[in-house]
């Protein structure tokens, strides 16, 4: 799969719903019911972060057992993470930033990558390597919706998934921007609901998130 094809996959994934939940999961047994709740609520793309020992097992379970889920791996830092994510059945990978070694590895691996950028220079460097869909991270500390709005003029080729410090209340500010296709956030799968197996609660949060763009646009 060449870079253009990978970018098409990333774009389709970003357009599936207004929000990609960023999931930190400590118990892999919660992965399947959690993912089913998200999909039932209208949120099919799910980013499982590599912040816990259970992450890859959770990805494998979701990929194998949850119909309609498009599972990805987040906090990817290098080639080993990319290859492990691909072997686990991930459909996409997300990184907090972008190093030369990571991008070189991504060229040789079929798994599509959504790399992170926090400055215009980083975004331009990724554009030079064929990336037109980026993660803006950490979104709120780096400048928030105002910074992304400012980038829309000089960098009209780029589309973003801002992540970091975004919640249900602030998501519409980002989703209103012409260069934002979706946002990433952890509020759909809070730790207390995962620990308490509150799948109905997670589905309810997912339904609210799935309707964010429509509600904000008044349609």
Q: Which residues are catalytic?
A: 47, 135
DSSP state of 26: S
Peptide bond into 6 cis (omega under 30): no
Spatial distance between the Cα atoms of 36 and 184, rounded to a whole number of angstroms: 18
Cβ atoms < 10 Å from Cβ of 215: 13
Nearest to 200 by CA among 41, 44, 59: 41
| Residue 184 parent element (H or E) | strand 183-185
């Amino acid at each position: 799969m060449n870079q253009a094809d990978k970018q098409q996959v990333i774009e389709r994934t970003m357009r599936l719903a207004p929000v990609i939940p960023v999931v930190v999961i400590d118990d892999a047994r919660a992965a399947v019911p959690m993912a089913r709740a998200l999909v039932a609520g209208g949120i099919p793309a799910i980013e499982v972060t590599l912040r816990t020992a259970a992450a890859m097992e959770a990805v494998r379970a979701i990929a194998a057992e949850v119909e309609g889920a498009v599972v990805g791996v987040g906090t990817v830092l290098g080639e080993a993470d990319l290859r492990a994510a691909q072997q686990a059945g991930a459909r996409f990978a997300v990184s907090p930033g972008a190093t030369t070694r990571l991008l070189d590895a991504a060229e040789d691996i079929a798994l599509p990558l959504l790399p992170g950028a926090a400055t215009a220079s980083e975004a331009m460097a990724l554009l030079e390597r064929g990336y037109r869909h980026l993660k803006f991270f950490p979104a709120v500390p780096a400048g928030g919706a105002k910074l992304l709005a400012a980038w829309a003029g000089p960098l009209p080729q780029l589309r973003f998934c801002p992540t970091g410090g975004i919640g249900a209340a602030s998501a519409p500010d980002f989703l209103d921007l012409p260069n934002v296709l979706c946002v990433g956030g952890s509020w759909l799968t809070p730790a207390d609901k995962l620990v308490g197996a509150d799948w109905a609660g997670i589905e309810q949060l997912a339904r609210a998130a799935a309707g964010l763009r429509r509600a904000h646009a008044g349609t």
